[in-house]
């Protein structure tokens, strides 16, 4: 049986990343360029979750409502094509990760027992989605981001 540890170590080798160690909660954190930070964990050893912080929500009011409408519209437009989903992280959950306030997060899932290439592809797609969302929300420090996994071109293209 293949473990999440095996998948994550192989992923790190393929991507040229430093091999991570699991945190106290059993999750693996990757701190990548341009704020493309990724958390990988499996609560049951069968299903792997990919999680990334997207954006702090403003205080309740017009700005917050406008942002949530924008994100909801974009999510609705891409949900048939993309596996990643934007979700609201409540203040208590953000605080458990050492962050303040409610936040938008990006999440996806992939079975742990898929072939390694499929796992790597799921992570690559998640990072592409993360880069797109960060750019869409104005959190990307650069207009164009470097390719991942030795892909030619940039993260952007395709569905968006």
Per residue in 3-47, pLDDT tens? Answer: 999 999 999 999 999 988 999 889 999 999 888 999 999 999 999
For residues 28 and 82, what is the distance between their CA atoms, to the nearest angstrom?
23
What range does the domain containing 13 cover? Answer: 4-136
Of all residues in the chain, what percent carry a pLDDT higher than 70?
82
Distance CA 83, CA 67 (A): 21
Kindly state whether residue 109 falls inside one of the protein's structural domains: yes
Residue 148 has pLDDT above 60, yes or no: no
**The pLDDT of residue 92:** 73
CA angle 69, 136, 108 (to 5 degrees): 80
User: Any residues with CB less than 8 A from the CB of 10 and at least 6 apart, and which?
Assistant: 116, 119, 120
* Token pair for 52: 């990334």
The CATH number covering residue 27 comes to 3.30.1460.10
pLDDT tens track for 51-73:
999 988 888 999 999 999 999 88
What mean pLDDT, rounded, does the chain reach?
83
The count of structural domains within the chain is 1
Residue 119 in domain: yes
Residue 75, domain member (yes or no): yes
Q: What is the C-alpha separation between 25 and 76, in angstroms, rounded?
A: 32
Residue 141 lies in a domain: no
């Amino acid at each position: 049986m293949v473990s999440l540890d095996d998948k994550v170590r192989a992923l790190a080798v393929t991507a040229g990343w430093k091999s991570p160690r699991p945190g106290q909660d059993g999750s693996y954190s990757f701190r990548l360029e341009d704020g493309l930070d990724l958390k990988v964990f499996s609560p049951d050893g069968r299903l792997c979750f990919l999680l990334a912080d997207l954006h702090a929500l403003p205080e309740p009011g017009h700005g917050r409502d406008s942002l949530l409408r924008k994100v909801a519209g974009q999510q609705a437009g891409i949900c048939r094509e993309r596996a990643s989903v934007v979700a609201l992280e409540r203040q208590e959950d953000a605080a458990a990760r050492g962050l303040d306030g409610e936040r938008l997060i990006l999440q996806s899932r992939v079975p742990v027992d898929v072939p390694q290439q499929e796992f790597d592809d799921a992570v690559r797609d998640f990072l592409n989605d993360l880069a797109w969302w960060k750019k869409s929300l104005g959190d990307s420090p650069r207009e164009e981001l470097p390719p991942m996994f030795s892909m030619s071109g940039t993260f952007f293209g395709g569905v968006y």
